Amino acid sequence: DAGVIQSPRHEVTEMGQEVTLRCKPISGHDYLFWYRQTMMRGLELLIYFNNNVPIDDSGMPEDRFSAKMPNASFSTLKIQPSEPRDSAVYFCASSSRPGQNYGYTFGSGTRLTVV
């Protein structure tokens, strides 16, 4: 398995533009997570899905952020409109087997810079 695949690896965009980050989880993993990492706030959970259904989106900063998981092999995190304070590394992670402690497999992250 190629692991969790995120694209793009780097994204630079202008303030006000729409940004879409993409994630392909490991096949067979029932859970998918979106985290954001910044120097100031560390790693924060934005949202997570179970069987393609959003379970907890309490970490989504505001209405400018939205996430979807149309099928078991694909998820997107969209920011519209983007702002400079959204600059961060965004990680996608997946996991499996509810009740068993397997930890997460992370993707390599997308570094987003909003100028």
Chain residues binding other proteins by CB under 8 A are 31, 33, 42-43, 45, 48, 55-56, 89, 91, 93, 95, 98-99, 101, 103-109, 111
Asked if 79 and 65 touch (Cβ cutoff 8 Å), the reply is yes
Instruction: Please list, in sequence order, all residues whose beta carbon lies within 8 angstroms of the beta carbon of residue 42, skipping any fewer than 6 positions away.
Output: none
Q: Please, which residues have CB within 8 angstroms of residue 22's CB and are 6 or more apart in sequence?
A: 6, 7, 8, 74, 75, 76
Minimum CB separation of residue 67 from other proteins in Å reads: 15
Please report how close the Cβ of residue 16 comes to other proteins at its closest, in angstroms: 27
Choose between 17 and 97: whose C-beta lies nearer to other proteins: 97
> Taking the complex as a whole, how short is the minimal distance between the CB of residue 56 and other proteins, in angstroms?
7
